[in-house]
Structure 1
Amino acid sequence: MVEFPALEGVSHRFLDLPGLRAHVAEAGDGDPVLLLHGFPQHWWEWRKVVPGLAGRRRVVCPDLRGAGWTDAPRRGYGYEPLRDDLVALLDELDLDRVDVVAHDWSAIVVFRMCLDDPDRFRRFVAIGVPPLFIDLDRRMLGALRHAWYQLALVTPGAGPWLLRRGGLPHYLLTGFAAPGASTPADVEIFLERLRDPARAKAGSLLYRKLITPESVRIFSGAYKKAHLKTPTRVLLGTQDPVVRPDLVHGYEDQADDLEVVAVAGAAHFIPEERPKDVVARVLEFVDAP
């Protein structure tokens, strides 16, 4: 029997998707909202947010391919297979059009899905990543020095080894977060899953096939001709080492309804640093007429 970290009111189940057995944590009742984690995390990222949302919404927190308790196959970590996983998940849950909150790399996938199919998601809250079609602010080039670890993670052999050893993911979880975001026990819950060689390799492949290539595309202007129709809010921490809200601009004419919101005192892991702010912002947005 699988043992999951305990969170009151949360139930767990596995769904058999095409080529993937996916774990989903759920809580609450009402209109559904999908919560998608970032790296190097899984559904436990939302532990402080779920209680605030579950009183008014059905909260669905899947572990995405390669993470948590979902399968970690040897391939499928580029945009298209990750998109197909989400479509299959929504179909299996019989969710035709749903509100979505996505953090870190999963927000990149959702941004692209919204550009490809504006009707797939009703409203979108992105956390910790900018709109794909921003202008490159020269000040951000200096901030990119903090992303040195990506070069290590995309390296075959070295990337998985670093993730299994735990030092690098520990650095990401603590060095890119405001103080007190996670307890040592919370950090261990994330590190423990990465000690599995298959999941460590999946994390490296995720950087090699999605995160690093998409970062290059964003900062090289590949999406500057795109137009976003899905109503969207972007939450960025004022202390984020790489993507601060004051560095994000040039998106204003490329979306029907898009606002970038600065979260004071937060860094990159906003759902754990400022959970009350996340809950308030999400409910205010998704419950609006």
Structure 2
Amino acid sequence: MKINGFDYQRVSGVGGVSLNVAVGGSGTPIVLLHGFPQTHLMWRHVATDLAADHTVICPDLRGYGESDKPADDYSKRTMAADIVAVARELGHTTFALAGHDRGALVAFRAGLDHPDVITHLMCLDVLPTLDMWDVMHGTSAAVGFHLFLMAQPPGLAEIMIAASADTFFDHFLTLWAKDSEAIPADVRATYLDACRAAVPSIVADYRASATIDVTHDQEDLAAGNKLRMPTSVIQQDWGAALGFDAQALWRSWATDLHHETTSAGHFMAEESPAEITTAIRALLKR
């Protein structure tokens, strides 16, 4: 499936990796990064709206969708460098960036590593990696069982997930959505097909978030590095549910932060696209 009205092309990222990229509209550029267990298609509603007055770029992250799936190097630093390289190849030296879930972690890293490139930043329904691991403790951590599973050394998680891939990935599409009709059957099938073909790379992406991504966040924290661009965070009220102050955690990383919670489910760009589009437009005016 494709986003209506968007053109598709292969664009080079880092180290010879080629990304599948959808591009539409014209005007100031914004890049939209998808989450798990999805592809760029999750932005189909938001992207077509923003394309009325922006150049909208929607890649499949390395390891996902129709992008290349190298055996390793899934640090968010490398994945963020992919996005900067893609935008540059498309003619954009600066751009706004919004990410959801895994894509939000890539966006977060891009904002820290490339502050002169990212003009505005939005992260949907995540905490920075270092904070995420810190708040996952006790029985409440059961909600993130997949994080611990895919953090294991290579082999076990890949075998277990591949043995029941559709059941595994569909579990999250069902559990995390408050609006069951927001992901129709044909879109769900597209996501499951893509994930089934990408089990090793998806696991490698998550494993990086338990290893090298933590190191990179620790180094930035120690150095006092922060997001300097206008930053917006929209997430479910996980802080109230799990006992932490999400806004305070984010404020420690961003100098110009707008934080809000949503009544939509995790897949908010599909469940409440008008809300997310409005929030992105508000961010771009800051």
Q: What is the TM-score when the length of structure 2 is the normalising length?
A: 0.85
1:135–1:219 CA contact under 8 A, matched in 2: no
Offset at residue 154 of structure 1 (A): 3.4
Offset at residue 150 of structure 1 (A): 2.1
SS at match of 2:248: coil
Task: Confirm or deny that 1:257 pairs with 2:253.
Answer: no
Offset at residue 178 of structure 1 (A): 1.2
Structure 2 counterpart of 1:16, from 12, 15, 19: 12
Structure 2 counterpart of 1:47, from 35, 44, 49: 44
CA distance, structure 1, for counterparts of residue 77 and residue 135 of structure 2: 31
What do residues 2-51 of structure 1 show as CA deviations (whole Å, max 9, x unaligned)?
xxx14321211112344112110112121111001111211111122122
What do residues 39-64 of structure 1 show as CA deviations (whole Å, max 9, x unaligned)?
12111111221222111211100011
1:72–1:202 CA contact under 8 A, matched in 2: yes
1:153–1:162 CA contact under 8 A, matched in 2: no
Structure 1 residues 200 and 124 mapped into 2: Cα distance closer, same or farther (>3 Å)? same
Q: For residue 7 of structure 1, what is the aligned residue in structure 2?
A: 3
SS at match of 1:13: strand
Q: What is the TM-score when the length of structure 1 is the normalising length?
A: 0.84
Structure 1 residues 78 and 136 mapped into 2: Cα distance closer, same or farther (>3 Å)? closer
Offset at residue 88 of structure 1 (A): 1.7
Q: For residue 275 of structure 2, what is the aligned residue in structure 1?
A: 277
Question: How many residue pairs were aligned?
Answer: 280
2:25–2:53 CA contact under 8 A, matched in 1: yes
Q: For residue 155 of structure 2, what is the aligned residue in structure 1?
A: 157
CA distance, structure 2, for counterparts of residue 27 and residue 243 of structure 1: 39
Q: Which amino acid aligns with 1:147?
A: G
Structure 1 residues 141 and 71 mapped into 2: Cα distance closer, same or farther (>3 Å)? same
Quick check: 74-83 or 18-27, which moved more? Answer: 74-83
CA distance, structure 2, for counterparts of residue 139 and residue 69 of structure 1: 32
Q: For residue 74 of structure 1, what is the aligned residue in structure 2?
A: 71
CA distance, structure 1, for counterparts of residue 75 and residue 126 of structure 2: 18
Quick check: 105-114 or 275-284, which moved more? Answer: 105-114
What do residues 58-102 of structure 1 show as CA deviations (whole Å, max 9, x unaligned)?
110001111111111111212332233122212211211100111
Structure 1 residues 21 and 10 mapped into 2: Cα distance closer, same or farther (>3 Å)? same
Q: Which amino acid aligns with 2:190?
A: I
Quick check: 127-136 or 114-123, which moved more? Answer: 127-136
Q: For residue 176 of structure 2, what is the aligned residue in structure 1?
A: 176
Instruction: Give the unaligned 5+ runs of structure 2.
Output: none
Q: Following superposition of structure 1 onto structure 2, how do residues 1-289 of structure 1 map, counting pairs within 5 Å?
A: 5-17=1-13, 18-131=15-128, 142-155=139-152, 156-164=154-162, 165-180=165-180, 181-196=182-197, 199-210=198-209, 212-213=210-211, 223=221, 225-238=224-237, 247-252=246-251, 254-263=253-262, 265-286=263-284, 288=285
Identity %: 26
Q: Structure 1 runs of 4+ off > 4 angstroms?
A: 131-142, 214-222, 239-247
CA distance, structure 2, for counterparts of residue 246 and residue 239 of structure 1: 9
CA distance, structure 2, for counterparts of residue 86 and residue 40 of structure 1: 19
1:143–1:241 CA contact under 8 A, matched in 2: no
Quick check: 84-93 or 20-29, which moved more? Answer: 84-93
Offset at residue 239 of structure 1 (A): 6.8
CA distance, structure 2, for counterparts of residue 66 and residue 215 of structure 1: 16
Q: Which amino acid aligns with 1:235?
A: I
Offset at residue 139 of structure 1 (A): 9.1
Structure 1 residues 284 and 222 mapped into 2: Cα distance closer, same or farther (>3 Å)? closer
Instruction: Give the unaligned 5+ runs of structure 1.
Output: none
CA distance, structure 1, for counterparts of residue 244 and residue 92 of structure 2: 32
1:152–1:159 CA contact under 8 A, matched in 2: yes
Offset at residue 216 of structure 1 (A): 6.1
2:179–2:265 CA contact under 8 A, matched in 1: no
CA RMSD of aligned residues (A): 3.1
